[in-house]
């Protein structure tokens, strides 16, 4: 999980549009080195606060560490804020309540 702060509503919206397009392209071409183990991506933003969260899911701890290393080398685009924290968590429950 990574947390971003200091973004603008417009910058966050633009980043989410870019991210959605990039993820769609990666589905067809394959993930770049270090991210091959990523199984799910969830992104959330709070426009009024200029903050965002990125949740990246992997099946194993090794894949998670590789993804973390690869993502550490990436910089968010202007207006979407800066990464202020990141951490690795083990998912204990993932229930669809519908």
Per-residue pLDDT reduced to its tens digit, 15-58:
999 999 999 999 899 999 999 999 999 999 999 999 999 999 99
pLDDT tens, position by position, 63-90: 999 999 998 888 777 778 888 999 999 9
What are φ and ψ of residue 30, in 5° steps? 105, 155
* Residue entry with tokens 């973004």: 7
The predicted pLDDT at position 80 comes to 81
Q: How far apart are CA 40 and CA 51, in angstroms?
A: 21
The predicted pLDDT at position 17 comes to 95
């Amino acid at each position: 999980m990574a947390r971003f702060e200091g973004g603008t509503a417009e910058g966050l919206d633009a980043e989410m549009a870019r991210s959605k397009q990039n993820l769609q392209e990666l589905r067809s071409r394959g993930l770049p080195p270090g991210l091959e183990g990523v199984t799910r991506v969830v992104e959330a933003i709070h426009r009024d606060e200029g903050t965002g969260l990125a949740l990246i899911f992997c099946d194993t701890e090794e894949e998670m560490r590789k993804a973390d290393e690869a993502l550490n080398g990436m910089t968010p685009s202007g207006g979407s804020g800066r990464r202020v924290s990141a951490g690795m968590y083990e998912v204990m429950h993932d229930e669809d309540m519908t």
